[in-house]
Every structure is written in C-alpha cells, then in structure tokens.
C-alpha cells in the first residue's frame, strides 16, 4: 500500500492490482465554494482521473473532505490537478484475495466411509480448492469424493483414480459450496487420512 501527498498538477504511478483510492483533503483552498449536500460537498478543489497504460478515464472532481474512488481493472496511473493551495493525501487500497491454502478439515477415517468430514458454516460460503486423500498403507486403493447439499441431495465430485501403494491422491480445482453443504468420501481401504483446503467467506 502506498500513500501519496499531492499538490499542484501531475501524475503518479499506482501499485499493481490497486482496487480503490481514498482521497483526504489536507488543505482547503480559500477560493473553494461549498455546496448543500450532507456531508458538505465542495467545488474548485481539484480534479482526478485514472489512467490505464496511457489512456485516461472520466475526470472525478474532489467534492468531499474524504472520498473514495474505485479503480478500473489494470489502473496504472492517477492524474491530478489541484487548484490553488489545495493539498490531498491519496491512500491505496486492495481487495482481499481468498487464501485458498487454508486447511479447514483434516483427520483419519477408521472405516471405508468417512461420513461428513466438513460442513460449511451458517452465513458463509466455502471455496473448495483441494482435497487430499492418502491410504497410508501398502495396498492399491481408490476413493470417491462427495458433496452433500443442504437440501439433502448428493453430488459425486470425483472418482479418484486407483493408486498404487503408499501414494496420496488429490482433487485440485475450484468449487463453491453454500452454507450447510457437506463433504464426505468413501475409500476402498480403512484408516485413510484426508485434508481439505480452501477459504470460508461471508455470504448474504
């Protein structure tokens, strides 16, 4: 995250993948005028515009003491013209990126049918990224992964191919589950272990 303290006119390069700018007025030019909005809006403080690889977008007036500007995808530059003695502080913000490496469930299954090993919490969605199953023994084996919907319907996610002794298998993809959905698997051998990774995110 970068912070820019700006006066006068010019351009500044923005950090890669910036998603929003927060613009705070530090010094108000005495020639500004005040509008009738709540909180107050202002005129004649300055103008801002995003640039993407040399092309520029619509001009945004600085019309609040503190305002936000959502950056277009691929924004590389901010152009600015500040009137009189107006000074602003511009702070970059970045959208949160799901951490799909987070382990949400792991353990060992004594039998061949795991039962439900993970249920998506209420008020959440789950981005399933990987599901590892390991036989932990010296026999060939196979497994089937299941998603159980909160409406009691079941969907087979994948039949893991037969593996030779002492090898783990993994489903690696991108699937979104709703609150109340569950995961289970069946394995041709007992005492297998599993690890489920992805990210739990808020859901309306």
- 70, 93, 116 — which closes off a domain? 93
77 and 31 together in one domain: yes
Overall number of domains in the chain: 2
Give the CATH number for residue 186. 2.60.120.340
198 and 108 together in one domain: yes
For residues 3 and 92, is the Cβ–Cβ distance under 8 A? yes
- Collapse the DSSP code of 123 into the 3-class scheme (helix H, G, I; strand E, B; otherwise coil) and give the result: coil
Range of the domain at 159: 102-202
Cα–Cα dist 45/87, whole Å: 9
Q: Is the pTM of this model over 0.75?
A: no
Of 77, 87, 3, 89, the closest CA to residue 45 belongs to 87
Whether pLDDT at 121 is above 80: yes
Out of 60-64, 107-111, 173-177, the most confident range is 60-64
124 and 85 together in one domain: no
* Residue burial 93-113, b: 16+ Cβ < 10 Å; e: rest: eeeeeeeeeeebeeeebeeee
Edge-first strand order for the sheet with 20-27 is 3-6, 87-93, 20-27, 66-70
167 and 89 together in one domain: no
8 and 88 together in one domain: yes
% of the chain beyond a pLDDT of 70: 93
What's the pLDDT at 104?
A: 94
DSSP assignment of 107-122 equals: EEESSSEEEEEEEPPT
pLDDT in tens, 29-88: 999 999 999 999 999 999 999 999 989 999 999 999 999 999 998 999 999 999 999 999
pLDDT in tens, 78-93: 999 999 999 999 999 9
What's the pLDDT at 147?
A: 93
107 and 196 together in one domain: yes
- 93, 115, 142 — which closes off a domain? 93
- 62, 93, 124 — which closes off a domain? 93
Cα–Cα dist 31/65, whole Å: 15
155 and 63 together in one domain: no
118 and 172 together in one domain: yes
Give the CATH number for residue 48. 2.60.120
């Amino acid at each position: 995250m970068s912070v820019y303290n700006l006066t006068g006119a010019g351009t500044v390069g923005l950090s890669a993948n910036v998603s929003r700018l927060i613009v705070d007025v530090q010094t108000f030019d005495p020639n500004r005028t005040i509008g009738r909005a709540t909180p107050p809006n202002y005129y004649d403080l300055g103008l801002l515009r995003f640039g993407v690889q040399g092309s520029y977008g619509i001009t945004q007036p600085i019309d609040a003491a503190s305002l936000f500007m959502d950056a277009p995808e691929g924004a590389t530059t901010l152009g600015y013209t500040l009137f009189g003695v107006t000074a602003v502080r511009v702070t970059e913000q970045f959208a949160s990126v799901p951490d799909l490496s987070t382990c949400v469930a792991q353990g060992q299954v004594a039998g061949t049918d795991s039962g439900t090993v993970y249920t998506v919490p209420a008020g959440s969605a789950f981005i399933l990224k990987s599901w590892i199953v390991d036989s932990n023994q010296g026999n060939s084996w196979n497994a089937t992964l299941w998603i159980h919907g909160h409406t009691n319907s079941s969907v087979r996610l994948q039949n893991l191919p037969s593996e030779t002794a002492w090898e783990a298998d993994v489903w690696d993809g991108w699937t979104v589950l709703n609150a109340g959905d569950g995961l289970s698997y069946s394995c041709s051998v007992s005492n297998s272990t599993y690890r489920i990774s992805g990210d739990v995110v808020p859901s309306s």
